[in-house]
């Protein structure tokens, strides 16, 4: 080196990190102390301060289990967040915790990164700030003891609401880069327990869940109820939060369909007859909006209810034909106690029509019971449902059809070995007509 020349030295900056410590198996205090000792022995880690240890009852889902000993440690570290996570997992394993065990089980040691400086990390393995830190008093109290302003750090409410399509794509790209599987639940809002069941199914199978709330004008005919379709975003967000949804995509129509938008998706056989006959152009609008949502969200799985069985068949065909790498997940119909299939349009039913519309469920059950007793003639099964529907003067039947399971193609007359019976009927005695859809598999018994 030449005289007077200075070597450049890189400065590694330490980050202040807050760690949650917990134990409810074995020598709980001993497990916490040993964890701190092992942390102090790690190069690049300095344990600055530790809160007092508190005993708390178990909080969360899981089996009944004993109380925890909890504390929070303030740490200074030069390790990246993911490297620190690896250290914590190794310390947990050293204390006897199995790394492949189910969540929320009794455990000798639980170490969580609550905050890693001001960084926001959202991957499959690590979410920082910890997603539930602000819900746990056994975390909040020790943090305040260590001088953390928990009010200033309180996160924005979940789910996050996204409006621009580009922002949805960016969020999904971040999750995918972190190894997350994405579950998509497309809806038009006015959410009910049927929608919530789809979101919960997605929550149980995917790392991140996106629900969409968009009343799609392309699937409404000129004389249909687009303007009157019920909308209540605030209430819908409450349902999404309760179901554990991570993000809600709620764009304006102009954001989904910019000026000059002219591309549409047509689906063939699955869109023929029934709703396709009653509502020309409806399934073109459905397939187009779902294809656009799939392109924006790139979901690994998408969740649809069986109540709209023909829509499900159309989307399944479209997904296969266009090569979207998305698994379509069929979810069972959710019903009211009297059998009425949950629908956003049920809110428009006045008292008399609300009572009368249960005839649809009775008609479906009657045909299924006839099938169970040995009736196998297609037309006889359809007629059985029609007779029950005819007993209710308020019901104006659009169609009753028995179709093949899955793709809902027409079944030939004569003997059948099953199939799905589909009904559409209007109830128009109230101040506004309400059109309801329902269906039932003849060969499958619905869960209670």
Distances (CA, A) of 203 to 127, 184, 208, 247, 411: 16, 10, 7, 12, 36
Say what the pLDDT of residue 1 is.
40
Segment holding 437, helix H or strand E: strand 434-441
Q: Which residues contact 429 (CB under 8 A, 6 or more apart)?
A: 350, 352, 353, 356, 394
* CB 315 within 8 Å of CB 287: yes
pLDDT band for position 101 (cuts 50, 70, 90): low
pLDDT digits (tens, 9 = 90+) for 54-97: 998 877 666 777 889 999 999 999 999 999 999 999 999 998 88
Residue 234 reports pLDDT greater than 70: yes
Largest CA distance in the chain: 105
Q: What is the pLDDT of residues 172-200, one digit of tens each?
A: 999 999 999 999 999 999 999 999 999 99
**Lowest-confidence pick of 10-19, 347-356, 439-448:** 439-448
Q: pTM of the full predicted structure?
A: 0.88
| Cα(349)–Cα(339) distance, integer angstroms | 15
Residues 274-289: pLDDT tens digits? 999 999 999 999 999 9
Query: Would you place residue 2 in the very low, low, confident or very high pLDDT band (cuts 50, 70, 90)?
Result: very low
Q: Is 264 a residue whose pLDDT tops 90? A: yes
C-alpha span between 195 and 175 (Å, rounded):
23
Active-site pick, 130, 195, 239, 300: 195
For residue 3, pLDDT beyond 50: no
In this predicted structure, what is the pLDDT of residue 447?
A: 52
Q: What mean pLDDT value characterizes the chain?
A: 92
Q: Go through the domains of the chain in sequence order and give each one's CATH number.
A: 15-153 (3.30.70.560), 160-331 (3.40.50.620), 344-441 (3.30.1300.10)
Cα dist from 205 to 116, 197, 244, 264, 331, whole Å: 28, 13, 12, 31, 13
Least confident range of 4-8, 30-34, 162-166, 386-390: 4-8
Q: Which range, of 48-62, 89-103, 248-262, 355-369, averages the lowest pLDDT?
A: 89-103
pLDDT tier, 103 (very low <50, low <70, confident <90, very high otherwise) = low
pLDDT confidence of residue 4: 46
- Judge whether 195 counts as a catalytic residue: yes
Angle, alpha carbons 160-122-49 (nearest 5°) = 110
More confident residue, 246 or 156: 246
pLDDT at 213 over 90: yes
Predicted pLDDT of residue 120: 93
SS3 content of the chain, % helix, strand, coil (to 5): 35, 20, 40
pLDDT of residue 8 exceeding 60, the answer is no
pLDDT value at residue 222: 83
């Amino acid at each position: 080196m030449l005289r007077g020349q200075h070597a450049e030295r890189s400065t590694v900056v330490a980050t202040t990190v807050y760690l949650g410590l917990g134990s409810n198996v074995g020598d709980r205090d001993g497990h916490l102390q040993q964890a701190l000792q092992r942390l102090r022995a790690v190069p690049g880690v300095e344990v600055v301060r530790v809160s007092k240890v508190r005993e708390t009852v178990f909080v969360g889902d899981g089996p009944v289990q004993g109380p925890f000993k909890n504390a929070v440690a303030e740490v200074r570290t030069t390790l990246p967040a993911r490297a620190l996570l690896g250290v914590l997992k190794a310390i947990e394993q050293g204390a006897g915790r199995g790394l492949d065990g189910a969540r929320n089980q009794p455990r000798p040691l639980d170490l969580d990164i609550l905050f890693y400086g001001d960084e926001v990390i959202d991957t499959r393995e690590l979410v920082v700030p910890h997603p539930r830190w602000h819900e746990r008093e056994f975390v909040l109290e020790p943090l305040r003891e260590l001088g953390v302003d928990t009010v200033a750090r309180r996160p924005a409410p979940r789910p996050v609401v996204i409006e621009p399509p580009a922002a949805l794509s960016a969020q999904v790209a971040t999750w995918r880069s972190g190894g997350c599987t994405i579950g998509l639940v497309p809806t038009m809002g006015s959410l009910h327990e049927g929608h919530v069941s789809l979101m919960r199914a997605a929550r149980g199978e995917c790392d991140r869940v996106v629900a969409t709330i968009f009343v799609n004008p392309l699937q409404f005919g000129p004389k249909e109820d687009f303007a009157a379709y019920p909308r209540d975003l605030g209430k819908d967000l409450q349902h999404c939060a309760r179901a554990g949804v991570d993000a809600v995509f709620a764009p304006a129509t102009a954001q989904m369909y910019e000026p000059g938008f002219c591309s549409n998706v047509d689906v063939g056989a699955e869109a023929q007859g029934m709703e396709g006959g009653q509502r020309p152009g409806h399934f073109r609008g459905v397939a187009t909006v779902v294809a656009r949502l799939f392109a924006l969200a790139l979901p690994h799985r998408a969740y649809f209810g069986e109540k709209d069985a023909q829509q499900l068949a159309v989307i399944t065909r479209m997904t296969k034909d266009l090569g979207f790498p998305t698994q379509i997940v069929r979810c069972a119909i959710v019903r009211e106690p009297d059998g009425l299939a949950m629908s956003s349009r049920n809110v428009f039913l006045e008292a008399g029509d609300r009572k009368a519309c249960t005839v649809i469920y009775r008609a479906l059950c009657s045909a299924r019971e006839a099938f169970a007793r040995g009736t196998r003639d297609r037309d006889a099964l359809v007629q059985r449902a029609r007779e029950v529907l005819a007993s209710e003067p308020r019901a104006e039947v659009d169609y009753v059809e028995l179709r093949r399971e899955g793709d809902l193609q027409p079944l030939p007359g004569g003997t059948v070995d099953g199939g799905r019976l589909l009904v559409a009927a209007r109830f128009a005695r109230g101040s506004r007509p309400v059109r309801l859809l329902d269906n039932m598999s003849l060969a499958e018994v619905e869960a209670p």
